[in-house]
């Protein structure tokens, strides 16, 4: 029988990371998240322990084995402005305040790989190791763990009961075709299989983009459909208006995946961006999840998260250490 090790989450989002821990047999006892719609989604699909709560205020009196945190990554990501003064960066330090109050056995912090080079990571490392925790870091690509998406994320694990082994990559990679299997190619509106109608000019552009193509195909074949800014920028930022490839994992899915102009979010064949359900599939979210909020909120909840199977692989590795200690 699986022991139900207890987990508390900070910056819980819609619970994708939490879903991985849940699937690995952990019991969530508390989850803090500012966005009420993400909280509702969390509570719809996992244990209803998520609260609209600002993590800068430490909740007293909690007892749990593992603290899991996915602080906002905008300030660290190379796509964002990477402003060292971005206040969102400092939020990662609150993880230590919670750990200091509750003494969990292990702490897991997920973020973009660049987080590991930040002063905030150094500071956290210094504080946790000063308190007797050991540390290991992993940079994992979701496509190695049963997810049809290239998404590299760092995991920093602090432990006072021994360090986990890095989860082994699975053989083979899932493709966009695997992820979308069984879904109608024209969204039928069922179970979040919905995508926005392109504008007239958007549709005209999409029709010019072949499989694996992108903005460059529009620039080459129909300059009249290109705003002057594209021409000025030349071939910079080419990975927009991009079409997915049926036979490969998708590129990293972001919150903006409902906008063709924001990335490689076009369906492999259809003249549309991928649907909400297709996005959820690319994040390994089970089809029975119910989301709260409007389409753009749901897209944010999906794009913000840790792919569930990747979270599961990390949770399994953490669970093994706790189990060894338990017996």
Ligand X SMILES: C[S@@+](CC[C@H](N)C(=O)[O-])C[C@H]1O[C@@H](n2cnc3c(N)ncnc32)[C@H](O)[C@@H]1O
Nearer to ligand X, 258 or 301 (CB): 301
Question: Least distance to ligand X from the beta carbon of 180, Å?
Answer: 21
Is the Cα dihedral 115, 121, 122, 128 positive or negative? negative
Task: Report the residue number, 114 or 221, with the smaller CB distance to ligand X.
Answer: 114
User: What is the four-CA torsion angle of 8, 13, 16, 19, rounded to 10 degrees?
Assistant: 30
CA 235 and chain centroid, separation: 28
Select 91 or 273, whichever has its Cβ closest to ligand X. 91
Does residue 295 sit in helix, strand or coil?
helix
Least spacing, CB of residue 191 vs ligand X, in Å: 19
CA distances from 162 to 83, 185, 317, 324 (A): 35, 48, 12, 9
DSSP string for residues in 74-119? TTTSSSS---TT-HHHHGGGHHHHHHHHH--SEEEEEE-GGGGGSH
Q: Using CA atoms in the order 101, 18, 115, 33, what is the torsion angle rounded to 10 degrees?
A: -60
- Provide the minimum distance between the beta carbon of 13 and ligand X in the complex, in angstroms, as a whole number: 3
- C-alpha atoms less than 13 angstroms from C-alpha of 206 in its C-beta half-sphere: 23
Q: Is 125 helix (H, G, I), strand (E, B) or coil?
A: helix
Does residue 126 carry a catalytic annotation? Answer: no
Q: How far is the CB of 5 from ligand X (least distance, A)?
A: 18
Instruction: Catalog residues that contact ligand X under the rule CB under 6 A.
Output: 11-17, 32-35, 38, 54-56, 70, 72-73, 91, 304-306
Of 74 and 261, CB closest to ligand X = 74
- Closest distance to ligand X from the beta carbon of 146 (Å): 16
Q: Which residue lies nearer to ligand X by CB, 91 or 250?
A: 91
Q: Which residues are tagged catalytic?
A: 73
């Amino acid at each position: 029988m699986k022991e139900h090790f207890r987990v508390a989450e900070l910056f819980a989002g819609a619970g994708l990371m939490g879903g991985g821990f849940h699937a690995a047999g952990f019991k969530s006892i508390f989850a803090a998240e500012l966005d009420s719609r993400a909280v509702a989604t969390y509570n719809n699909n996992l244990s209803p322990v998520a609260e609209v709560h600002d993590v800068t205020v430490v909740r007293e009196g909690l007892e749990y084995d593992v603290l899991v945190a996915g602080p906002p990554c905008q300030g660290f990501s190379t796509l964002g402005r990477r402003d060292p003064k971005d206040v969102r960066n400092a939020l990662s330090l609150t993880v230590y305040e919670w750990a200091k109050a509750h003494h969990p056995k292990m702490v897991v912090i997920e973020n973009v790989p660049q987080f590991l080079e930040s002063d905030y990571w150094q500071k956290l490392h210094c504080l946790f190791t000063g308190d007797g925790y050991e540390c290991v870091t992993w940079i994992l690509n979701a496509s190695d763990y049963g997810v049809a998406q290239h998404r590299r994320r760092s995991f920093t694990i602090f432990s006072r009961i021994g360090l986990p082994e890095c989860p082994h990559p699975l053989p083979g990679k899932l493709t966009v075709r695997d992820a979308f299997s069984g879904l109608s190619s024209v969204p039928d509106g069922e179970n979040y299989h919905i995508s926005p109608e392109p504008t007239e000019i958007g549709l005209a552009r999409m029709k010019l983009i072949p499989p694996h193509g992108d903005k460059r195909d529009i620039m080459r074949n129909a300059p009249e459909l290109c705003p002057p800014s594209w021409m000025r920028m030349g071939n910079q930022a080419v990975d927009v208006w991009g079409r997915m490839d049926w036979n490969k994992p998708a590129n990293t899915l972001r919150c903006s995946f409902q906008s063709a102009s924001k990335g490689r979010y076009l369906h492999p064949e259809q003249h549309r961006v991928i649907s909400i359900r297709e996005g959820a599939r690319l994040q390994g979210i089970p089809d029975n999840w119910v989301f709260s909020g409007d389409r753009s909120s749901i897209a944010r909840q999906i794009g913000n998260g840790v792919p569930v199977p990747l979270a599961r692989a990390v949770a399994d590795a953490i669970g093994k250490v706790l189990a060894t200690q338990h017996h």
